[in-house]
Amino acid sequence: MKCPYCGELDTRVIDSRATEEDTVIRRRRVCEACGKRFTTYEKMETIPMIIMKKDNNREAYDRAKLERGVLRACYKRPISAEQIQKTVDAVETRILNSDMKEMKSADVGEIVMDELKKLDEVAYVRFASVYREFKDSNTFLEELKKVLDGGAKK
């Protein structure tokens, strides 16, 4: 494994651990040349999921895009990075365990909203407002009423 600090190829593993879900192995490494430590993650390669967009274009599933959406929804909320990663992991698990090779972006959005409901009501409403393309304040208020009436209780 190439050292991210000095580019040396001679690194060694000093610790390996499975994640909580046993789907990823976390490895602590040390560079033999510069002595710096870094972490790598080993994950089983899966058949790529194809996401069908609203305009019928198709693109490969992109975890980074999912993370950006969840991060945007959680911006300036009292939510830890660990909670955000667990939410993204939960969404990804649901998507990849669906046994489908293609999934509509609308279905992905619903899964994200479902997981955000469990995490934080404000993040949920933020995501829903973008995802559902609220056209006016009445649409926003309708979604907010659902949350207040218990539709998004933890």
- pLDDT tens, 24-64? 899 999 999 999 999 998 877 666 789 999 999 999 999 99
Q: Give a yes or no: residue 138 inside a domain.
A: yes
**Same domain for 25 and 90?**
no
For residues 33 and 108, state if they share a domain. Answer: no
The answer to whether the CB of 3 falls within 8 A of the CB of 11 is: yes
Task: Look up the domain containing 142 and give its range.
Answer: 50-151
Number of folded domains in the chain? 2
Q: Could you tell me which residues come within 8 angstroms of residue 17 by beta carbon, excluding any fewer than 6 positions away?
A: 25, 26
132 and 91 fall within a common domain:
yes
* 13-24 pLDDT tens trace: 999 998 767 778
Q: Do both 91 and 147 map to the same domain?
A: yes
| Whether the predicted pLDDT of 76 surpasses 50 | yes
